[in-house]
């Protein structure tokens, strides 16, 4: 199935637009695309008429243009007929936003949609979904623009079974400055499921990292998914909900009892090199990090900090994650110390973490980072940048990112994310250094690179 016209349409028909209810999902979708996005939209309502001076088309066949995507937001019972109309009119694909199918006991109605679509090889997303958000191009989410947070365009594609979770993740990604290539809510995934989307995203040049929120796979669908994800040249991250096997039935074998659904899910993912995010923080941190660096690292982390306490906390988190913070060789320690500014030369500790103290100046961070970048003793540098120290300037983050450009060793930053330090944050993020708002987030970013095994 060719999903290109469906996910990157030039023309869209919005079916179900109401003449008198501007809050109707179809109206919200029509309005936001019509006013603000480059995709061309045509409103459809079988009764015809006009909306805010625009003609409402009675059927898709009346639209004087080839329609790439039909967004269907009509009552569930009408959906099969609309689908048939789409197929007759040569539409390339659909997004069935409407609910009222398998999720509410109408499996029969959903099966009718599937049968119609399969016979005509007509791909559609949903039903019971928010549909497709492609930054800067189109948006089928029935949430008014002013209520949405819009992530910039970037390299992460996020695919979710739940629309609510997806919107919430988009807020978090936007807050962290992580750009998206696509946000997709697949709802009941009647025809297009994780597997089809994965195949599409593997070939999508805008996508660097593929992230999924999954509640569960259909029968045997997990098997095909992990095999396909294993072959993906791009990192695949999965956040799974439903980890506790509540209401586990009485089982008569130890294997069935010890191999609960989630344990199988988690271990099979690892077997096939898919990165499991255990929670939302991991999903965000892994996505941001792997979007900057599609590379695998060993477990040795070198930490540079302006505060001894932050260094100690970072070491603890590394050790909980199974990452190492090896003590530097005496030769390396000597070299680091020799290059420190005179005021901290006697008080800094250089064993790992390198604690540059509150009297640090930019050049101490720069020199230490450069030396660690060239050392084989560590695989990744974590910089804990506390902008409170008076010797730190707003140029430091952009300068540090140059070291990464020159030396090639992955660098990750922790910096408090408050407006006052925006320029330092952007000095990292705009120069492709992932920057976390918490120490834990920064260590998780390093962990992502260690787990990624291309």
Question: Among residues 435, 371, 438, 452, which one has the least CA distance to residue 398?
Answer: 435
Q: Is 222 in the site for other proteins (CB under 8 A)?
A: yes
Q: Is 329 in the site for other proteins (CB under 8 A)?
A: no
Question: According to CB under 8 A, which one of 146, 147, 205, 220 is a site residue for other proteins?
Answer: 220
The region of 68-76, 89-97, 250-258, 305-313 touching other proteins under the rule CB under 8 A is 250-258
Q: Find out whether 199 and 2 touch, Cβ atoms under 8 Å.
A: no
Question: Among residues 327, 326, 331, 319, which one has the least CA distance to residue 300?
Answer: 326
For the chain, the straight-line distance linking the first and the last C-alpha, in angstroms and rounded, comes to: 27
Q: Side by side, which strands form the sheet with 380-384?
A: 354-355, 301-305, 380-384, 411-414, 435-436
How would DSSP label each residue in 56-97? Answer: PBSSGGG-SS--SEEEE-S-GGGHHHHHHHHHHTT--EEEE-
Q: How far is the CB of 262 from other proteins (least distance, A)?
A: 10
Q: How far is the CB of 449 from other proteins (least distance, A)?
A: 20
Q: Is 259 in the site for other proteins (CB under 8 A)?
A: yes
Q: Is 452 in the site for other proteins (CB under 8 A)?
A: no
CB nearer to other proteins: give 196 or 335: 196
The region of 10-18, 91-99, 217-225, 415-423 touching other proteins under the rule CB under 8 A is 217-225
CB nearer to other proteins: give 165 or 214: 214
Instruction: Report how far residue 158's alpha carbon sits from residue 77's, in angstroms, rounded to the nearest whole number.
Output: 30
Q: How far is the CB of 219 from other proteins (least distance, A)?
A: 6
CB nearer to other proteins: give 78 or 272: 272
Tokens of 253: 């074998």
Q: How many CB atoms lie within 10 A of CB 212?
A: 25
Spatial neighbors of 263 by CB under 8 A, at least 6 apart, are none
Q: Is 377 in the site for other proteins (CB under 8 A)?
A: no
Q: How far is the CB of 97 from other proteins (least distance, A)?
A: 27
Question: According to CB under 8 A, which one of 264, 312, 320, 418 is a site residue for other proteins?
Answer: 264
Q: Is 286 in the site for other proteins (CB under 8 A)?
A: no
Residues touching other proteins, count (CB under 8 A): 26
Rounded to 10°, the helix 280-292/439-451 angle is: 60
Tokens of 301: 């982390």
Q: How many CB atoms lie within 10 A of CB 452?
A: 22
The region of 158-166, 262-270, 325-333, 418-426 touching other proteins under the rule CB under 8 A is 262-270
Q: Is 218 in the site for other proteins (CB under 8 A)?
A: yes
CB nearer to other proteins: give 10 or 270: 270
Residues that bind other proteins (CB under 8 A): 216-223, 226, 251-259, 261, 263-265, 267-268, 271-272
């Amino acid at each position: 199935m060719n999903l290109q016209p469906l996910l990157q349409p030039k023309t869209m028909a919005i079916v179900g637009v109401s003449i008198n209810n501007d809050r109707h999902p179809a109206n919200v979708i029509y309005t936001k695309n019509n006013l603000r996005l480059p995709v061309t939209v045509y409103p459809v309502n079988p009764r015809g008429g006009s909306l805010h001076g625009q003609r409402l088309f009675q059927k898709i066949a009346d639209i004087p243009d080839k329609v790439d995507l039909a967004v269907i937001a009509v009552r569930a019972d009408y959906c099969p007929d609309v689908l048939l109309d789409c197929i007759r009119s040569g539409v390339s694909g659909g997004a069935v936003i409407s609910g009222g199918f398998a999720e509410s006991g109408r499996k029969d109605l959903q099966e009718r949609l599937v049968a119609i679509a399969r016979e005509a090889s007509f791909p559609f997303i949903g039903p019971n979904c928010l549909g497709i958000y492609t930054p800067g191009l189109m948006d089928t989410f029935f949430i008014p623009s002013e209520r949405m947070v819009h992530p910039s365009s970037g390299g992460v594609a996020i695919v979710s079974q739940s629309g609510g979770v997806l919107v919430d993740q988009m807020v978090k990604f936007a807050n962290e400055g992580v750009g998206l290539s696509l946000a997709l809510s697949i709802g009941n995934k009647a025809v297009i499921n994780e597997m089809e989307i994965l195949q599409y995203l593997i070939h999508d040049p805008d996508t660097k990292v593929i992230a999924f929120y999954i509640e569960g796979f259909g029968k045997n669908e997990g098997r095909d998914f992990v095999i396909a994800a294993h072959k993906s040249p791009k990192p695949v991250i999965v956040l799974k909900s439903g980890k506790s096997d509540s209401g586990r039935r009485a089982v008569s074998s130890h294997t069935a009892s010890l191999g609960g659904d989630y344990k199988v899910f988690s271990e099979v993912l690892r077997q096939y090199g898919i990165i499991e995010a255990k929670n939302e923080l991991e999903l965000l941190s892994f996505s941001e990090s792997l979007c900057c660096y599609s590379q695998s690292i060993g477990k040795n982390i070198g930490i540079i900090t302006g505060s001894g306490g932050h260094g100690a906390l970072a070491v603890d988190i590394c050790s909980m994650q199974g990452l190492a913070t090896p003590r530097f060789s005496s030769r390396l320690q000597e070299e680091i110390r020799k290059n420190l500014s005179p005021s901290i030369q006697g008080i800094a500790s250089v064993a790992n973490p390198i604690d540059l103290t509150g009297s640090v100046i930019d050049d101490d961070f720069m020199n230490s980072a450069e030396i660690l970048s060239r050392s084989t003793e560590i695989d990744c540098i974590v910089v804990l940048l506390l902008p409170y120290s008076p010797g730190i300037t707003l140029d430091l983050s952009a300068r540090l990112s140059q070291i990464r450009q020159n030396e090639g060793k992955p660098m990750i930053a922790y910096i408090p994310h408050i407006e006052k330090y925006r320029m330092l944050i952007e000095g990292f993020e705009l120069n492709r250094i992932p920057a976390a708002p918490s120490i834990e987030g920064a260590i998780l970013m390093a962990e992502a690179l260690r787990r990624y095994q291309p």
